Amino acid sequence: MTATDENVTLNDAEKAELTAKVMEESIDGAPKGLKILVIVMGVMILAMIALIIGTIAYRASVGVVKIDERVEADAPQPTQAHSVPSMPSMGKLKKIIEVVRPKASVFIKSELSGSTLLLQFKSDSGADIIKLLDLVSGMEKSQVVISP
């Protein structure tokens, strides 16, 4: 009798035996490299999980560091060559300094250097107007007009 002549039916015991035999062959017959790869990948996954848990535990124990604190801690401290010019004492400064904005101009920026204040304006004609003020005396030191 051949398989093509007649349908072959298996009972439950024969099906179970055949399934077990196929499963056993596929597990034992797997390439050795594939088994090693699966084990290595499993170990890597466990290592990553341990690293994540360790990082969370470390950050929880140290506490939260604000961004501003980190930047200040990493910033270089000023030296004599790069020190910021000191401001004159408040006793020497006038309380109110009046600045007359040039006609038809818009204020652009201000910059402080020691006791001198620089004010930059832009006129409607496109000219830049720069005023230098002395903060100690409260007087205008100079005015520079840069034509467009």
| Structure tokens that stand for 50 in this block | 């341990």
Instruction: Name the pairing type of β-strands 140-146 and 128-134.
Output: antiparallel
Predicted pLDDT of residue 77: 56
Contact yes or no for 119/99 (Cβ under 8 A) = yes
What is the CB-side half-sphere exposure of residue 89 using CA atoms within 13 A? 2
* pTM beyond 0.75, yes or no: no
52: three-class secondary structure by DSSP: helix
Low-confidence ranges of the chain (pLDDT < 50): 1, 80, 82-84
Cα–Cα distance measured from residue 137 to residue 97, given in angstroms and rounded to the nearest whole number: 9
